[in-house]
Amino acid sequence: MLIINCPYCGPRPELEFSYAGQAHVARPADPSATGDDEWTAYLYLRTNTRGVHAERWRHARGCARFFNALRDTTTDRFRRDLSER
């Protein structure tokens, strides 16, 4: 089980969290003006990084906040203290 550092509550067990996918995938400001390819990228394309991955977690069964974290997907180790609100 992963121990995940919630930036509000500190290190907590994975059971309290829900994974929320790659970080920094911003919803286009004006979706109607977004082309098909750009919209497809927003909907479906993710880096699926093998290595250090910027991702979102939600401390769903804790403080309920979403936050960003860096995790190495080849070791599942989080970069310590790099969780950001």
Binding site for another protein (CB under 8 A): 1-2, 8-10, 12-16, 18-21, 26-28, 30-32, 34, 36-37, 39-46, 48-50, 53, 55-56, 58, 60-66, 71, 73-76
Which own/partner contact pairs does 44-49 have at CB distance under 8 Å and 24+ positions apart? 46/21, 46/22, 47/22, 49/73
Quote the least distance from Cβ 47 to another protein, whole Å: 8
| 3-state DSSP assignment of residue 84 | strand
User: Closest CB to another protein among 41 and 82?
Assistant: 41
CB of 22 to another protein, least distance (A): 8
Give the span between the Cα atoms of 73 and 22, in whole angstroms. Answer: 12
